[in-house]
Chain A
Amino acid sequence: MQRLIVLITTLMLAACSNPRQEVTVQLANQVLLPAHQQWQSRNAALLDSTRAWCSGDQPLASLEQAFHQTQSAWSRLQPLMVGPLSEGNRSWQVQFWPDKRNMVARQTEDLLNEFADLTQLQLEGASVVVQGLTAFEYVLFDEQAALSDNRGRYCPLLTGIARHQLALSNEVLALWQQPDGMLETLTSFPNGRYANADEALGGILRVQVTGVDTLKKKLGTPMGRLNSGVPQPYQAEAWRSRHSTENLLAALEGAQAVWERVRSLVGDAKLVGDIDAAYKSVRDKLAALPAPLMNMVQDKANQPQLQSLYADLDALENLQQTDLARHLGIQIGFNANDGD
């Protein structure tokens, strides 16, 4: 009798358990929310550092370090920004890329020429182009700004941007954690957004695949893939801080964190091996780049190395977008990507 009860209990548990729901809940609690929290805490640290440097209490190197960490948290978050951050034009307020016409430099200087002692209100009313990390990077690293000699001109802007970023991340985090917020939406089904865990998992994977596609663009654009092969070094993300490669690695890490959880749902050992290998290959090749991306793309001798990296990234994208999506029965895109 006892054995029968155990058997029935086991069968009931098996029937109740839903691996996809478990993975979705894990992703929400252990990957997505922590990545948003990390981004928020880096923004808080950036504001502290900005204030400290502007008041002369910290060396510039410390501010640069805080900026890199914020940029890195943001990069890692991009393949994970399901929900509020991807909505309402919020992400444009964080980073302005691609900047095809050097709008960041021009608009930043124009803004400061117009408002010598910039207030937070004036910054909030300005274009997204000057509200985010790309404008912060311009001020911090561009020779034209010569920050150390112009602390008085730029500090109101730097502080304003850091404050804006912190407020934005606080708002997004609240939208995650409030009752009926994004966390609940990804962990309790059905709800107003998702009928079941499959839909939510599909939503997470779509964002992750889009994140990998963005990685490809961030590599391919400076390589000149959209420009008849003519390199465009100033189209590299974060070219001013020479941190393009670090950002790409952080974004790859974010994408891989999703795959690490989804892997358990894949019954095809070859597909698992192929995706694992693709991540490793892209990571190794990125880490092996000997110089900043904007320098690499300008030397023809580096083309084979960069092309090989791009091909691996392309393969990774296809494996996830086509093979993995088909294996899981999850649809990556239709009208949203290709409507009319």
Chain B
Amino acid sequence: MSLTRRQLLGVGAAVAGAATLGGWALWSGRGQSPLLLSARNDDAGQHYAVGYFLDGRRAFATPVAERCHDVCRHPFLPLALFVGRRPSRESYLVDLRDGTLVQTLHSQSQRHFYGHAVFHRSGQWLYATENDTGEPGRGVVGRYRLDSQRLQLIHDGEVSSHGVGPHQLAWLPDGESLVIGNGGIRTEGGSREEMNLDAMAPSLVVMDRHGERISKETLPQSQNSIRHLAVAADGTVITGQQYHGAPWDSVPLLAIKRPGEAYQPFPVATSQLAMMKQYTASIAIHNEKRLVAMTAPRGNRFFIWDLDSAATLVDAAMPDCAGVGAVPGGFAVTSGQGKCRYFDCTGGAVQSHWLTLPDGWWDNHLWLG
């Protein structure tokens, strides 16, 4: 198969970027303990973009002005964007080799970040969910081009997210289609206050990266905000919800869209739903083992289910469990308040042990690899 002009440009950009970064053409931490990237605070309230190896060694801790939420890795350069948490107007591009802050990315006028972004597989483009504060809640996906000479992200346009209050987005396996959780909540610039709890409109949208809508689906409860998601290698999408209705209502806080099927509740036991306090945070899928893991920090509960049978493998108490990510043997989970944990899924029953990462102050998402 011959390379297209666009792919050629992508390769060229990668080489140029590698040159700028000092000859690291294809950076990776091979042979090392997995690297965990996350937003974190210290007890004085200072915000950081941090990298820790899973064995507890610190790679870097870069102070940043605003609290971040999720982290998106460049597909092959040692770069990651630590994405500003709603309603931040800043995100931070960091050199993962030493934590150098390469760029403070400012949102456009009348836009703020929602805490999530993804790099395109070419490494040239980044897509971030944003709020149009001129028309509060109108979701847009900002498109940024990576200037590989200067290693700067440059705003290059935007498209509609086809919904209100977009939150997490991810690539489907084709690498060209995005799935987006539109939370359905309207907030103004500079505020986290919800303006439309009685008229929310959450949706799960699939669109191509140029903005053309492929599908838009909803769940029955309008107050069930679709926020976080993960995509399996076969294209199965799992979403996590945050419900803004009565605290005692039993609603699907986890939902699934299998390839070719309708978006529908994932069959979680009612007793498990009751433990989540209507709030889910981070979701990770283990592709080889076909497992899905999810944190519920308000309920102080961590879960692992079989992605296909929905059987429960783990239903564990864990204070303020925050980000979760998959590694070959299982899942690593951070905590906002306590010790981070590793759940080893290599044997019959899942074994858990504590990690030597610093305790507490981890934000709700992580990148692990």
Contact = CB atoms under 8 A, between A and B. Distances in A.
Instruction: Report if A and B associate in a common complex.
Output: yes
Interface in B228-243: none
B297 A335 contact: yes
A290 interface: no
Contact of A334 (B86, B115, B336, B339): B336
A336 B300 contact: yes
A334 B41 contact: yes
B327 to A, nearest CB: 20
Given A335-B320, A336-B297, A340-B85, A195 B354 contact: yes
Interface string A318-340: 00000000100101011110011
| Interface of chain B, main secondary structure | loop
B274 A340 contact: no
Given A87-B275, A333-B337, A339-B279, A202 B319 contact: yes
B319 A203 contact: yes
Nearest to B337: A331
A195 B339 contact: yes
Interface stretch (B251-259, B285-293, B356-364): B356-364
Contact of A206 (B299, B318, B337): B337
Interface residues on B, range: 35 or more
A246 interface: no
A88 interface: yes
Interface string B255-283: 00000000000000001001100010100
B43 interface: yes
Contacts of A92: 247-248
A193 interface: yes
A128 interface: yes
Contacts of A229: none
A249 B1 CA distance: 77
A199 interface: yes
B316 interface: yes
A88 B271 contact: yes
B368 to A, nearest CB: 17
Contact of B248 (A89, A206, A326, A329): A89
B298 interface: yes
B247 A89 contact: yes
A199 B359 CA distance: 10
A321 to B, nearest CB: 13
29 contacts: A87-B275, A87-B299, A89-B248, A92-B247, A92-B248, A190-B354, A192-B317, A193-B318, A199-B319, A199-B338, A326-B43, A329-B43, A331-B336, A331-B361, A333-B336, A333-B337, A334-B362, A335-B320, A335-B322, A336-B298, A336-B319, A336-B320, A336-B337, A339-B281, A339-B297, A339-B298, A339-B364, A340-B86, A340-B364
Interface of A: 87-89, 92, 127-128, 190, 192-195, 199, 202-203, 206, 326, 329, 331, 333-336, 339-340
Interface of B: 41, 43, 69, 85-86, 115, 167, 227, 247-248, 271, 274-275, 279, 281, 297-300, 316-320, 322, 336-339, 352, 354, 360-364
Given A127-B248, A333-B337, A334-B361, 9 more contacts: A89-B274, A194-B319, A199-B339, A202-B337, A326-B43, A334-B41, A334-B337, A335-B281, A336-B319
